[in-house]
Structure 1
Amino acid sequence: MNHGPSKLLLPALLASALCLALPATAVAQTEPGAPAPLKIADQRSIDLQLGEQPGRVGRAGVDAGRKQAEIRTPDASFIKVHFDHFSLPAGVTLEVASPDGREVYRYSAQQLDPHTVAADLGQDGKTSFSAMSISGPVAVLRLVGTAREPWRAGHGVKVSRYLEGYPEDMLPQLQNEGLLGTQVGGKSICGTDNKQAAACYATSDTQAFNGSRPVARAVMSGGSLCTAWRVSSSNRMFTNNHCISTAAGVAGAEFWFNYQRSTCTGAQATVTKVAGDQMLKTNTTLDYTLFTVKNFANISSFGFLGLDPRAAVANEGIFIAGHPGGRMKELSVADTQNSGGKCRVDAPSVTGNAANSDVGYYCDTEGGSSGSPVLARSSGKVLALHHFGGCFNSGAKISLIWPQVSTYFGGVIP
């Protein structure tokens, strides 16, 4: 991947930005405005067909049509393939993979590996759905196996679009230039930007680093991005309502765990991706969505966060883990706005979407931090769900969210 703005990608981003003008910047806690997810990918058109022989019937055991294709893009951080039509004879499997084989997803008439279903793209989850994203600028599609029945006219795979992720190393520049579809970034940096890669705290602040492990990058079907995180030992995840507000939105999203640097300045660590499954509860005023994911066992090693449903205390220590600017996971630990130099609760009760619904802090966030957990130092549990910038930045109080979701945890605070 090239390190620098892609000459082929930038015009598309500029054009996209002109079409993605959003409402005014989120401002101070008394007038927060309307937050919106960050834009970190665009839909691209393509005309690709595999294994199709319209009007012909192949002999059993004989593959038909084109069997392999590549989607290759300049500098893309990921490619997510959407299937307009998917139907294969028994014995044939479609592999969607990275060139080096580190990521491979397999889809056949008998079994579908993890995938997402985006109602906004007209997908039904049976003959149309989306493969899990492939990291990097190339996705390889190949048909493997031997058909155990004739290839018929309806068999084949058709792709007319895919999601192309903006290059990771371009995200800061695009964010600064307002090309990621949100204007909240600058107003959410309170004084000096003190955020650092999560791995920078692996030994110097183990509480913060360990608290960041259950936090995931949420990538929605249209290319928008927020932060999500696992809560409790059961299959439960939180993000903002303004990020995902419907069952279809959950089903169309994927969640990347361990999307972070392997060391403070190192390369990307190995990522585990899971698809959204069911929405359990959502609320616009408190701006939360509680949901589940598929293949839950795959993320068990990342642990979970508990909840701290109490009133925040002025000046108590906090930290925030998330994906600001869509980047690899970062931690907000330091805060130069107060004499202690650490993130803290600067206002225990401020107005968010309702009077006194939020906790206020100068701890730095950006667009993309939406949905991040705000963790209390005293308990290591989540005190608020971040959603607004404006300095104060603010998160909806878990003390207000908990009574609305407690039944999904058997009434026991995780």
Structure 2
Amino acid sequence: MAAALAAAATLVPAAPTSAGGAAPPRAEASPVPAVGEERAVDVTLGSAGDQTRHEIRHPGAAYVKVHLARLSLAPGDRLTVADPAGREVHTYRADPTRGPAPRGDASFTRHGGTGFAAMSVDGDTAVVTLHTRKGRDSAATIDRYWRGYTQKEIDVKNPRSVCGADARRDAVCYKSSHPAQYAASRGVARMLKNGAGWCTAWRVGRGNHMMSNNHCVKNQAELDTIEVQFDYDCATCGGNDPRPGTKVGANALLRTSPALDFTLFNVDNFDRVTQFGTLFLETRAPIAGESTYIAGHGDTKPKRISIYEERDGGALCGVRNAQLGTEDVGYNCDTSGGNSGSPVLATSSHKVIALHWGGSCPNNIGTRMDKIYPQVQDLIDNRP
């Protein structure tokens, strides 16, 4: 049944609004889970000395995200941030905050002040290399980095409550048995906020549009810190062997609503993520008892899909209360911290019927898409 953050376990869903009555107050959304921390360093590569390579290692870290206070490159030089095995290599041929980035360069994020942060690398080590020749003026200064907590640290800092069994499975587990659900999950991504918090986001419509919760990203300043990771999926069912995926930075905030808890935005390097497909919006109201499913990155883990209520092959999860207050719907598909922003899809159409934002026992809760769609229909192409 529904899995939720313990911090949200006392959340009481609003009762259906009676005719002529005022809607009860809306419950608070689940908090964005803390999954990492910032660390200060002082490392200079290049013209200030002979060093051109530096490893940032934090034993056991889930990821490392490097911030550069300064990057000055002579023509033809470049800087790379990579993991030791070279599975992920993020290349920068210029400081992207000083003008248009050269074609092919990696995305970046901004975190206030000067400089920028490279895309993160999975694992506990980031190798920063200045590719230059002696006598050139290229230089880079690293002033800080973020490291991802271990799973044990995440569990301690973000206690959660599971109501009954957790029936979620790795997305790849359903590739053959539920191909439509698996295909829909491909457009769902993990979203790293300011180097230290996770939510879920997903492509919507035919163009460069992403949707998540307003409580995950409220304004452009927060969006500037957002890194979006597609294809962070296990390669084998139950194998705990995720791919590094494809990482891009968020770009422009297009529309947001605290009342409906949604944010619509676009991303840099959109051409790199079109291969993962997109989702479309269901514009009708939810129906009590209809089957639904959720794809997302609860507990910051590789993407999982919630199709069943208690066990794989058992009762399907679905809508328990089609109207909570004036904007929300209640359902019993499993979620946990990090699932905020996940799409809730109607099994009948494989379209998004709600935007997940919180959980409790016995209901998880999302904003009904028939309430959000009128607010974004002028911006997106919702034709399948």
Normalising by the smaller structure, the TM-score range is: 0.7 to 0.9
1:49 matches 2:44: yes
Q: Which residue of 2 aligns with 1:135?
A: 122
What amino acid sits opposite 1:349 in the alignment? Answer: Q
What amino acid sits opposite 1:40 in the alignment? Answer: V
- Structure 1 residues 126-205: aligned runs within 5 Å: 128-146=115-133, 151=137, 156-167=139-150, 170=151, 173-177=152-156, 179-180=157-158, 185-186=160-161, 189-205=162-178
Give the counterpart of 1:28 among 9, 12, 26.
12
What amino acid sits opposite 2:377 in the alignment? Answer: S
Q: 1:253 to 1:101 in 2, by over 3 A?
A: same
In 2, Cα distance between equivalents of 1:333 and 1:212: 12
In 1, Cα distance between equivalents of 2:167 and 2:136: 61
Q: 1:145 to 1:156 in 2, by over 3 A?
A: closer
- Structure 1 residues 271-350: aligned runs within 5 Å: 271-336=245-310, 341-350=315-324
Of stretches 237-246 and 65-74 in structure 1, the one that deviates more from structure 2 is 65-74
In 2, Cα distance between equivalents of 1:116 and 1:95: 12
Question: Gaps (5+ residues) in structure 2?
Answer: 1-5, 15-25, 96-100
1:103 matches 2:95: no
1:115 matches 2:107: yes
Q: Which residue of 2 aligns with 1:82?
A: 67
- Structure 1 residues 350-365: aligned runs within 5 Å: 350=324, 355-365=325-335
**TM-score for the superposition, normalised by structure 2:** 0.87
Contact 2:167 2:309 in 1 (8 A): yes
Q: How far off its partner does 1:303 sit?
A: 0.6
Contact 2:8 2:30 in 1 (8 A): no
Provide the identity percentage: 37
Q: Secondary structure at the match of 1:243?
A: coil
**TM-score for the superposition, normalised by structure 1:** 0.81
Contact 1:71 1:139 in 2 (8 A): yes
Q: 1:340 to 1:263 in 2, by over 3 A?
A: closer
1:391-412 Cα deviation digits (max 9, x unpaired): 31111011010111111125x5
Q: Secondary structure at the match of 1:328?
A: coil
Q: Secondary structure at the match of 1:269?
A: coil
Q: Which residue of 1 aligns with 2:199?
A: 226
Give the counterpart of 1:400 among 341, 353, 371.
371
What amino acid sits opposite 2:213 in the alignment? Answer: N
1:247 matches 2:220: yes
Answer 1 or 2: which has greater strand percent.
2
Q: Which residue of 1 aligns with 2:21?
A: none
What amino acid sits opposite 1:375 in the alignment? Answer: L
What amino acid sits opposite 2:169 in the alignment? Answer: Q
1:55-111 Cα deviation digits (max 9, x unpaired): xxxxxxxxx532111111201121110011222233321121222222212223385
Alignment length (residue pairs): 358
In 1, Cα distance between equivalents of 2:315 and 2:7: 33
In 2, Cα distance between equivalents of 1:387 and 1:320: 12
In 1, Cα distance between equivalents of 2:94 and 2:27: 49
Q: How far off its partner does 1:156 sit?
A: 2.4
In 2, Cα distance between equivalents of 1:175 and 1:140: 25
Q: Which residue of 2 aligns with 1:377?
A: 347
Q: Secondary structure at the match of 1:255?
A: strand
What amino acid sits opposite 2:283 in the alignment? Answer: P
Q: Secondary structure at the match of 1:402?
A: helix
Q: How far off its partner does 1:340 sit?
A: 6.9
Q: 1:322 to 1:244 in 2, by over 3 A?
A: same
Q: 1:24 to 1:364 in 2, by over 3 A?
A: closer
In 2, Cα distance between equivalents of 1:211 and 1:82: 34
In 1, Cα distance between equivalents of 2:191 and 2:296: 10
In 1, Cα distance between equivalents of 2:178 and 2:383: 26
Q: 1:298 to 1:270 in 2, by over 3 A?
A: same
Q: How far off its partner does 1:159 sit?
A: 1.3
Q: Secondary structure at the match of 1:200?
A: helix
In 2, Cα distance between equivalents of 1:370 and 1:24: 12
1:207-237 Cα deviation digits (max 9, x unpaired): 2211211100000114110000011121110
In 1, Cα distance between equivalents of 2:33 and 2:153: 11
Q: How far off its partner does 1:44 sit?
A: 1.4
Q: Secondary structure at the match of 1:346?
A: strand
Larger RCO, structure (CA 8 Å, separation 6 or more): 2
Contact 2:146 2:196 in 1 (8 A): yes
Q: 1:386 to 1:34 in 2, by over 3 A?
A: closer
Question: Gaps (5+ residues) in structure 1?
Answer: 1-21, 54-63
Contact 2:356 2:365 in 1 (8 A): yes
> What is the root-mean-square deviation of aligned Cα atoms in Å?
2.3
